Amino acid sequence: MPCPFLGSLNQAFVRNYGSSLMKQYGNYCPIISRGFRSLGKDETKCPFIQQNNNSISEAPKEMTEDIVETVQPYKYENFFNEQISAKKRDYSYRIFRKVSRLAADGMYPQALEGQEYRQVTVWCANDYLGASRHPVVQDAAISAIKSYGTGAGGTRNIAGNSQLTEKLEGEIAKLHKKPAALIFSSCFVANDATLSTLARILPGCIVYSDAGNHASMIQGIRNSRATKHIFKHNDPKHLRELLSKSPAGVPKLVVFETVHSMSGAICPLEEMCNIAHEYGALTFVDEVHAVGLYGKHGAGIGEERGVQHLIDIVSGTLGKAYGNVGGYIAGSSLLIDTIRSLAPGFIFTTALPPPVLAGSLAAIRLLASEEGRTLRSKHQAIVRYFKLSLLVAGLPQLPSVSHIVPVPIQGADKVALVAESLMKRGHYVQAINYPTVARGEERLRFAPGPYHTPEMVDSLVTALIESFHENNISFDQFMINGACRECSLEYKVDMMQDEPFKFQVQVA
C-alpha cells in the first residue's frame, strides 16, 4: 500500500528531494517516526511494511548525515554593551579622572587634570598626611631601587622574601603590639584572604559582620561559605543579641571597622570587643582609615583609646596614610603562620617590591615620631576648620567624628553634576554613588589634609555654594558673600590649630 502523502507528489520530485522531505516531514508520520526508534512486531500496522518486512531495516544514510541545527554564537559584545548602558542610565557609571598629583614643595596637594594638564586642588585622596611625597619616604624608596631594583622577583616562597620584607612586618607588629604581622599586595587582599581562610578552616565557624563593612571583608566572608549573621552598623546591642543565640564552644569571628570609610563614623571599639570575647569570639578589626592618623604612634583607634590588647586580628593598609601600597594583618604568631601557610591570596601573589617595602617602613617610622604627631595635629585642625566652615555656610554634612567629611547630595545624577561644577572651579572631589554607598545615599567625600590651607578651604566652600546654586540644589544658606544674611556682619572661622583635642567636633 503506497504512502498517501508521498504518492500524491510527482515521483521525480520525490526522487530529487526525498531526503529533504524525510528530514522535514518524517517526524509527522506516525509510522516512520516509530520506525526510527525500533521496528518491533507491534510497532507498525503499515500494510507496505507488513508485506515487505525484509525490505526496510534502517534509515538511509542521507537521512541522518549532516543534520546540524544552526545555533548562533552568543553575542558577548551585546551583553557587555547592555551592562554598561544600564550603569550609564542610572548614573552609576564611573569615569576615571585623569589626575596626576604633584609632590613638589609648594605644589602639593595640587594636581594636573585632563589632557590640558590644568592645575586643580585635590580634596579626596586617601594619602591623608602627604606621606607619599615626604622626602624621608621618597629617599628610602629611591635608595631601595638603586640597591635592589624595582621588582620583588616572585612570590614570598620563590625569590620574593627579603630582609626588607621581614623588617617591615616586624615594624608593623611592634606598632600594633602584636607578636607577628603579615603583609599582602593590598588591604583588599589582606581582608579577603584572611577572612576567607579563617572562616573556612575553623570547624563550624560563625561570622558576625557589621552591616557597614567594606567590600573586601564582605567578599572574604562570602568566599569562606561560613554561616554569617549581619548586625546593625556600630550597634553593640544588636551584636550581643545575635551572639547570645549562638551555640557555646563553636568558633566565631566578629568583623568590623573602626573608622568607616564613607560616613566617617568611629565604632564603640572597646564595647564591641568585650561583647565578642564574652561569647568566645575572635575580633577582626579593620583599621585601614585609622592607621597613621590616630594614637600617639599612629597605630589607630585601638592605640588612641588604649584597647589594642582587645583586638585579636587587626588589618591595616600601607596605601593611605602611609602613602605607599599594600595591606597587612597583625595578630598572634600561630594565627599569622596559619594564614601564611594556607591563604591562597598570600601564597600565590607576587611579593611587594623593594621601593614599596622601604617607603612603607620609612613612613611608619615617620608617623610614629614627633613629626608624625605634628602632622596629625595639623590634619585635625584643618578638618575642624573645614567642618565649621561648612556649618557656617549652611552647607549639608553628615555627622562625622573623624577626618572624613561627607557632604550628602541625593541622586547619582546630582552628585555627579556638583562634582563636575567643582572641577570647573579648580577643585577635584570624586562623586560617591552605588555600589560604594546605597542608592539615595550619594555624597561627596572630602578628606582635607595638613597641607591644605584655610584659604584653600575658603575657596572650596565658595565653589560648593556656587555649584549647589548652579545645579538647583537647595540648602540652608545663611552666609552671603562672607556675611550673615540677617545682620550683614562678617563671620570668619578661626582655625585654632594649636588647640589640643581628641576627636573632631561632631556636626549634626
User: Is 330:181 a contact under the CB 8 Å cutoff?
Assistant: yes
What is residue 404's three-state secondary structure?
coil
177 is catalytic: no
Say which residue the cell 576648620 belongs to: 385
User: Which residue type occupies 259?
Assistant: V
Cα gap 152→354, rounded to integer Å: 6
Question: For residues 308 and 316, is the Cβ–Cβ distance under 8 A?
Answer: no
Taking residue 425's Cβ as centre, other Cβ atoms within 10 Å add up to: 16
Which long-range CB contacts under 8 A does 196-199 form with residues at least 24 apart?
196/220, 196/221, 196/223, 196/224, 196/343, 196/345, 197/224, 197/338, 197/339, 197/342, 197/343, 197/344, 197/345, 198/224, 198/253, 198/282, 198/284, 198/338, 198/339, 199/224, 199/226, 199/253
AA letter at 395: L
Distance CA 329, CA 125 (A): 23
| Phi, psi dihedrals of residue 343, rounded to the nearest 5° | -85, 115
The catalytic residue among 320, 378, 387, 414 is 320
Adjacent-strand bridge partners of 259: 266
C-alpha 64/C-alpha 68 separation (Å) is 10
User: In angstroms, what CA-CA distances link 139 with 87, 146, 151, 359, 362?
Assistant: 43, 11, 17, 8, 9
Place of cell 576615571: 96
Q: What is the largest CA-CA distance in the chain?
A: 116
Host H or E run for residue 446: strand 443-446
Residues forming the active site: 320
